[in-house]
Amino acid sequence: MKVFEPMKFKKMEIANRVGVAPMCTYMCLKKDGVAQDFHLTHYTTFAMGQPGFIIQEATSVNESGYISDYCLGIHQPRQREALKRVIDSVHAYPVKFGIQLNHAGAKTMKTGSRKISASALSEGVEEASLADINKIVSDFESAAKWARQCGYDFVEVHSAHGYLINQFLSPLTNKRTDAYGEDKGLLLQQVVEAVLKEFDGPVFVRLSGDEYSEQGRSIEDTKETVKRLDRLGVSLINMSSGGVAPVSMSVYPMYQVHLATQAKSVTGLPLATAGLITEREQIADIIDNEKADVVLLGRLMTRDPFFLMKWKFDLGLITKENTPNYLYRSLSAMK
């Protein structure tokens, strides 16, 4: 079964092809972007269940990039000190740990933050100036450097779900007439180049493959972006969808898998998929039939962090010799 075969991204090897998707927890209750004991417990519990890798929730690269008052940041020394503690705890287990770097742009709900976007299309939103854009690229670059220094195994650039980079990519939110309007992928390219420069390891990019709007980006547009990212040296595309504008869409089991499959037709890059994938048979079908290369689990892993470990036990892949005794006893008790 390919699900439990290892896979390499540059020098990083994951033990299996199932990861934990990035999921906002909104648990920085002091509103300072500093990871709390909750985050240490949350991510360490995931690691105990032995996924191939974990992507940390969206983490702001600067003071205006938070999604909410309760999200993580990496741009302050106290934030990095707390993140290092989480990383060290996760690395006590054979699991790779990465950080999703983000700027929320016009979707920020953090108190006192500037709402900037590609274009000023709603009240209270400012069009990003060239100085703003230069600072954003520089802040992603700095965040990548700090991620490397903290000890993350990989970095993911969040370019989906209607946040700032997606706001530049989308014709729904980018009405500029300058270079960033003529080439809507320019900001993404500059950010990725800056991150690759500072992070000596795999760099992933999360994209919305379809915006579910006739005027928005389609999977055909996304394919061109994927080819561009391939040329830049990205290691994996994390394919999602939606988030730019409120639209009616059908959500059903594995509803986003076809987007990853279509993107695979234009690139040799590994593709990750997620979205209402809840059964072993679904995961095996996706991986074994090469509909995607990696499956990311979100709410399922939150409900059952040991989902993968139980599956491995049932397949005979977990023994007394390769598992801590207390975990092996608990798995054996299910029989």
Classify the phi-psi angles of 5: left when phi > 0, otherwise alpha if psi is within -120 to 50, otherwise beta: beta
Provide the whole-model pTM.
0.97
**Interacting residues of 277 by C-beta distance below 8 A, sequence separation 6+:** 253, 254, 257, 283, 286, 295, 297, 300
pLDDT in tens, 133-181: 999 999 999 999 999 999 999 999 999 999 999 999 999 999 999 999 9
Q: Are residues 266 and 318 in the same domain?
A: no
What is the model's pLDDT at position 103?
98
CB of 59 closer than 8 Å to CB of 99: yes
Q: Are residues 248 and 319 in the same domain?
A: no
Per-residue pLDDT at 1 exceeds 90: no
Q: What angle do CA 314, 315, 318 make, to 5 degrees?
A: 80
End-to-end CA gap in the chain: 22
| Measured distance CA(14)–CA(296) in Å, rounded | 13
Which pLDDT value is given to residue 334?
74
Q: What is the mean pLDDT of the chain?
A: 96
> For the CA atoms of 66, 69, 74, 77, what is the dihedral angle to 10 degrees?
140
Asked if residue 249 and residue 112 are part of one domain, the reply reads yes
The pLDDT tens digits for 91-101 are 999 999 999 99
Looking at the structure, do residues 291 and 313 belong to the same domain, yes or no? no
Whether 39 shows a pLDDT value over 70: the answer reads: yes
- With CA atoms as reference, report the closest residue to 72 among 107, 132, 23, 115: 23
Compute the distance between CA of residue 205 and CA of residue 153 in angstroms, rounded to an integer: 15
CA–CA separation, 217 and 162 (whole Å): 11
Which residues, listed in sequence order, are joined to residue 205 by a DSSP beta bridge? 157, 237
Q: Give the tens place of pLDDT for each residue, 264-288.
A: 999 999 999 999 999 999 999 999 9
Task: Find the mean pLDDT for residues 44-68.
Answer: 97
pLDDT band at 70 (very low <50, low <70, confident <90, very high): very high
Provide the residue range defining the domain that includes 80: 2-304
- Specify whether 286 is located in the same domain as 326: no
Query: Which H/E stretch holds residue 185?
Result: none
Domain shared by 229 and 328, yes or no: no
pLDDT of 110 above 90: yes
Which CATH number is 267's domain given?
3.20.20.70
Do 192 and 313 share a domain, yes or no?
A: no
Per-residue pLDDT band for 335 (boundaries 50, 70, 90) equals low
CA pair distance 9, 233, nearest whole angstrom: 11
Task: State whether 162 and 310 are in the same domain.
Answer: no
Question: What is the tally of structural domains in the chain?
Answer: 2
